[in-house]
Amino acid sequence: MALFPSTDRMKRYMRAMNAENMKEWKIELTYRVDFIRGMLEPLIFVFPYVLFAMSLMGGRTSSVLEELTGVSDGVTYTIIGYIFMGFLNTAVWGMGFALRKEQWYGTLESIFVMPVPRWVYVMGMALHSTVHQGIILFFQIAVVYVLFGVILNVQGVLPVLILVALMLISLVGLGLMVSGLALIFKEGWIVSEVLYSLITIVTPIAYPLAVLPPLLQKLSKAMPTTYAITGIRHFLIAENMEFPLWDAYSRLIVIGVCWVIMGLVIFHIVDRRVRREGTLAEY
């Protein structure tokens, strides 16, 4: 069996990924109320963090934050981090639960007998979740502009898109890992929840890296979300970065490649295990 599929096969896999994406959209749109709720909920998700920040600052600005980052607007600072961290959600829950969802539907065996590798389904779900999150992000930016007067540097949009794309490579790897692990753990949601929690704890979402204790700073530097979020804040609200931009880009690429490889390996191991144990259809 060849290591890399032929062009023809890759085209087929792309078609399958898109079919998976479209299928998910169709199913999602049948639950209309749920779909609307799913679009609106992220809009309010960020409010508790913002209100907490405001209760600490007694307003909108913080001289301490300005000294640390060059940005005094604590509200905007908090919002940026949390809305872009929504992409972590897509990896851990959207992609991570792709196959678990199929188990829930009862269709996992039906799709596993199809002549496409299993990772194609996760990638298809990744496509769906990413587009979903992109739409939500757009609405979130509109809402925070209206409610909190958040103004972002428009010129930073393109580099931000690049950073998000690079972050997504790592998150796809993470999604593959979680998706595989969710197949073997009966309470697979715990895998997602634990990973999500640990990554959000070590990522400087609403604060600069400098406030983390030394050990957590080391862990933070292994997370793609650290480089992405810090870089995004740099481009959108002119935060002073604690490491060179070029460093952020290169580390994102390296972490991305490593996580994708790890994700594929774990996924492959888990796939063989569930097929050996015969637990594919078990929920």
Answer yes or no whether residue 68 interacts with other proteins by CB under 8 A: yes
Contacts of 124 by beta carbon, 8 Å cutoff, 6+ apart? 16, 17, 18, 19, 20, 21, 23, 24, 98
Residue of 85, 192, 71 whose CA lies nearest to 137: 85
**What does the alpha-carbon distance between residue 218 and residue 208 come to, in Å, rounded to a whole number?**
14
Q: Could you tell me the smallest distance in angstroms from the CB atom of residue 269 to other proteins?
A: 12
Task: Using the structure block, give the residue that is written with the tokens 């290591």.
Answer: 3
For other proteins, what does the binding mask look like between residues 181 and 200, x meaning CB under 8 A? ---------x--xx--x--x
Q: Which residues ranging from 29 to 58 are in contact with other proteins (CB under 8 A)?
A: 30-31, 34, 37-38, 41, 44-45, 47-49, 51-58
Contacts of residue 278, defined as CB under 8 A and 6 or more positions apart, other chains included, come to: none
Segment near other proteins (CB under 8 A), from 21-29, 132-140, 173-181, 257-265?
A: 21-29
Stretch that binds other proteins, among 88-96, 107-115, 237-245, 250-258 (CB under 8 A): 107-115
- The SS3 assignment for 73 reads strand
Among 10, 39, 110, 149, binds other proteins (CB under 8 A): 110
Separation CA 177–CA 192 (nearest Å): 10
Is 200 within 8 Å of 88 (Cβ atoms)? yes
Q: How far is the CB of 169 from other proteins (least distance, A)?
A: 25
For other proteins, the binding residues (CB under 8 A) are 1, 12, 15-16, 18-20, 22-23, 26-27, 30-31, 34, 37-38, 41, 44-45, 47-49, 51-59, 62, 64-65, 68-69, 74, 78, 105-107, 109-117, 190, 193-194, 197, 200-201, 204-208, 211-212, 272, 275-278, 280-281
